[in-house]
Amino acid sequence: MKIGFIGTGVMGNAICLNLLQSGHELWVYNRTKSKAENLMDRGAKWCANPQKVAEQADVIFTMVGFPSDVEDVYFGEHGIFKVAVKGKYLVDLTTSKPQLAQKIYATGEKLGAKVLDAPVSGGDLGAKNGTLTIMVGGDQAGFNKLKAVFGDFGKQVQYFGPAGSGQNTKMANQIMIAGTMTGLTEMLVYAQQAGLDLSKVLKTVGAGSAANWSLTNYGPRILKNDYSPGFFSKHFLKDLRIALDTAKEMKLDLPATKQAKKLYETMVDKQQLGDLGTQGLIKLWWQ
């Protein structure tokens, strides 16, 4: 398949490697070109902007950072919608706003493209291992057509309904992660203060009913003083803001998620630690 990929950062780069491994032809663009060089070494072709990617490929994936970046790659001066996209498949893998997914869908539909919002979960390791969970909304026929491609980098792939449903599922996921990340952090802070052996605590708690993905994957990184991303805390704060804004529109109050957002605001906005992984939250207690 002729695949285009825009955004070759932590997640996008690893997904591209899996797509190349599966034998797809790949055209790539990233704001910082050097982050795509390993892909070009393996046969991917560089394009000067998103528009050029969309000219070459039949299926165009986007995986950029923030909703403003998504706006830019679709609607910007050299964006995807500058191209005649009729018959093409446009898939946004970025964690972004459900309303923006609907706007891209509506624009694409008018132009004859099949549009999907397909955010993922499973972290940098899931992307490397091709075992991501993919939550899809948008054009159902398009989803059926792309199932095999999703299988090249995902293990659990689910269709949820109309445009924005993938993003709403991802927001539900992030509301859960707000609990596991704050739980992991406060558990370690408490256990250390109580003088416990922290690696024993992780092993034991992780084998009981408090077991969860954050604990298994980020607990050991914290004990090794490894705060590299993984998953940037600035991106997690973005997700918590989208989740809470969307909840507000639905007239829902989510006090625990609000508290998690406040903690990540302190870390990212006040302490300027947004480029650390989400496990860096513990730095609010441990200097």
Interacting residues toward ligand NAP by CB under 6 A: 6-12, 29-32, 35, 63-65, 69, 72-73, 94-95, 120-121, 123-124, 230-232, 235
CB of 206 to ligand NAP, least distance (A): 19
Q: Which residues pair with 29 in a beta bridge?
A: 6
Q: Which of 52, 114, 128, 170 is catalytic?
A: 170
Q: Give the amino acid at 214.
A: S
Q: Based on CB atoms, which residue is closest to ligand NAP, 5 or 201?
A: 5
Per-residue tokens: 155 = 């293990």
Residue sitting closest to ligand NAP (CB): 9
CB of 49 to ligand NAP, least distance (A): 8
Contact assessment for residue 156 and residue 136, using Cβ atoms and an 8 Å cutoff: no
Question: Residue 113 and residue 102: Cα distance in Å, rounded?
Answer: 13
DSSP, res 82: G
Q: Based on CB atoms, which residue is closest to ligand NAP, 51 or 121?
A: 121
Per-residue tokens: 170 = 């991802």
Q: Based on CB atoms, which residue is closest to ligand NAP, 70 or 113?
A: 70
Per-residue tokens: 31 = 């704001």
Q: Based on CB atoms, which residue is closest to ligand NAP, 136 or 201?
A: 136
Per-residue tokens: 159 = 């269709």
Q: Based on CB atoms, which residue is closest to ligand NAP, 10 or 201?
A: 10
* CA-based nearest residue to 14, from 143, 136, 152, 158: 152
Looking up tokens 């446009």 gives 90
CB of 173 to ligand NAP, least distance (A): 9
Q: Is 283 a catalytic residue?
A: no
**Cβ-proximal residues to 33 (8 Å cutoff; 6+ apart), any chain:** 46
CB of 144 to ligand NAP, least distance (A): 24
Contact assessment for residue 138 and residue 160, using Cβ atoms and an 8 Å cutoff: no
CB of 227 to ligand NAP, least distance (A): 14
Note the maximum CA span of the chain.
Answer: 63
Question: Residue 159 and residue 157: Cα distance in Å, rounded?
Answer: 7
Q: Give the amino acid at 285.
A: W
- Report, as residue numbers or ranges, the catalytic residues: 170
